[in-house]
């Protein structure tokens, strides 16, 4: 293995520490803590784990973390009413409705009902538009975390060839917008891309957000490229045990790449750290207090 391993776990821990210190400053200046409210509908096991981690991480970072746990039978109107209450609550700086939602609820309608200035997940169409237009707003946490890792590793990204594999609204598309804003030449690859190997092969930056275990092979990677693996896939091994793998064949890619994120311990820990960062940014903006957002 020749690649440098990008330690997202350590980066995320230091980001959470910075956020915690600035959140304490905020509480002193504003006379209240920044507040993040998470809404969980139903009992999806993975979602429950994510929500508990978000609650714990908020509290550890001096942010008031509140969770509303609603039954799986909640109607769309009931959830819309809760979102309206949270929009109007001055102590709430960030609202996050955990996805996926039960099938009787249209997640687009719920996201669209969140005040865009409290949409710390960055999923509201207004925030997607702001990102595409280069206006201040909120950027989805996972791609913003990927960008932080890339800039920490590479400094300026200007002029680099970048490929984003995957075109979801929560990872692929905002990732491509962020790289474009950094003056990369960006290709978005997806399930209909004809020659994924060649597209990856000309890229200095590869971001894989697909959800297919080890799709991106080491032989495709340009020597020295920086590889960011967003995928989290649980696979069952021959002996019946299971393990997490990314969307990139790690061992192969690590022989060719200049730097690569591992799974787990790469992109994964960045998401919650950036969520806390976005919540604190929201709190400063809503109170009209000055903050150097680029330092966070
Ligand atoms: P998604 O299913 O919404 O989108 C997957 C994308 O991959 C689609 O745009 C599709 O076109 C593309 N795709 C599918 N098969 C392909 C193929 N064979 N070749 C090229 N492209 C292909 O997924 P998502 O929500 O963007 O998540 C992607 C992965 O990232 C998943 O493994 C998910 O678990 C992981 N994820 C991790 C985090 C985190 O680390 N915190 C956050 C979000 C998602």
218 Cβ inside 6 Å of ligand 1: no
168 Cβ inside 6 Å of ligand 1: yes
Domain(s) labelled CATH 3.40.50.720 in the chain stretch across 141-269
Q: How far is the CA of 210 from the centre of ligand 1 (A)?
A: 3
Catalytic site residue from 33, 54, 119, 173: 54
Q: Of 214, 262, 264, 260, which Cα lies nearest the Cα of 3?
A: 260
261 Cβ inside 6 Å of ligand 1: no
Domain 32-115 has CATH 3.40.50.620: no
Q: Give catalytic status of residue 89 as yes or no.
A: no
Using CA atoms, how far apart are residues 148 and 135, in angstroms rounded to an integer? 18
User: Quick one: pLDDT band at residue 264, thresholds 50, 70, 90?
Assistant: very high
What pLDDT shows up at residue 204?
98
CA distances from 247 to 37, 89, 174, 233 (A): 31, 40, 18, 8
Residue 1 has pLDDT above 90, yes or no: no
Q: Which pLDDT tens digit goes with each residue over 143-191?
A: 999 999 999 999 999 999 999 999 999 999 999 999 999 999 999 999 9
Q: Give catalytic status of residue 121 as yes or no.
A: yes
| pTM beyond cutoff 0.75 | yes
Catalytic site residue from 93, 121, 229, 247: 121
154 Cβ inside 6 Å of ligand 1: no
Domain(s) labelled CATH 3.40.50.10860 in the chain stretch across 32-115
- CATH number of this structure's domain 141-269, picked from the four choices 3.80.10.10, 3.75.10.10, 3.40.718.10, 3.40.50.720: 3.40.50.720
Q: Give me the mean pLDDT over the 213-236 stretch.
A: 98
What pLDDT shows up at residue 230?
98
Q: Give catalytic status of residue 33 as yes or no.
A: no
142 Cβ inside 6 Å of ligand 1: yes
Q: Which residue has the tokens 């992109």?
A: 267
Q: What is the Cβ-side half-sphere exposure of residue 100, based on CA atoms within 13 angstroms?
A: 6
């Amino acid at each position: 293995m020749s690649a440098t391993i990008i330690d997202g776990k350590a980066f995320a821990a230091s980001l959470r520490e910075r956020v915690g210190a600035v959140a304490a400053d905020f509480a002193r200046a504003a006379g209240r803590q920044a507040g993040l409210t998470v809404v969980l509908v139903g009992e999806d096991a993975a979602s429950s784990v994510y929500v508990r981690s978000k609650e714990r991480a908020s509290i550890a970072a001096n942010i008031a973390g509140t969770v509303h746990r609603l039954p799986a039978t909640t109607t769309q109107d009931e959830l819309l009413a809760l979102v309206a209450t949270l929009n109007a609550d001055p102590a709430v700086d960030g609202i996050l409705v955990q996805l996926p939602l039960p099938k009787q609820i249209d997640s687009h309608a719920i996201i669209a009902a969140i005040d865009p200035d409290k949409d710390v997940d960055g999923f509201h169409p207004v925030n997607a538009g702001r990102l595409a237009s280069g206006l201040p707003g909120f950027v989805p946490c996972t791609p913003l975390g990927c960008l932080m890792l890339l800039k920490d590793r590479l400094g300026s990204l200007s002029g680099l060839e970048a490929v984003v594999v995957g075109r979801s609204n929560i990872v692929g598309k905002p990732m491509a917008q962020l790289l474009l804003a950094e003056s990369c030449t960006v290709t978005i690859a997806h399930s209909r891309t004809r020659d994924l190997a060649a597209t990856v092969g000309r890229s200095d930056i590869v971001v894989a957000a697909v959800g297919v275990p080890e799709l991106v092979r080491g032989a495709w990677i340009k020597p020295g490229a920086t590889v960011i693996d967003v995928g989290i896939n649980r696979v069952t091994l021959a002996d019946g045990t299971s393990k997490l793998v990314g969307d990139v064949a790690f061992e192969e890619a690590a022989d060719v790449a200049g730097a690569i994120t591992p799974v787990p311990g790469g992109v994964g820990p960045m998401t919650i750290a950036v969520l806390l960062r976005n919540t604190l940014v929201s709190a400063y903006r809503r109170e009209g207090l000055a903050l150097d957002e680029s330092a966070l």
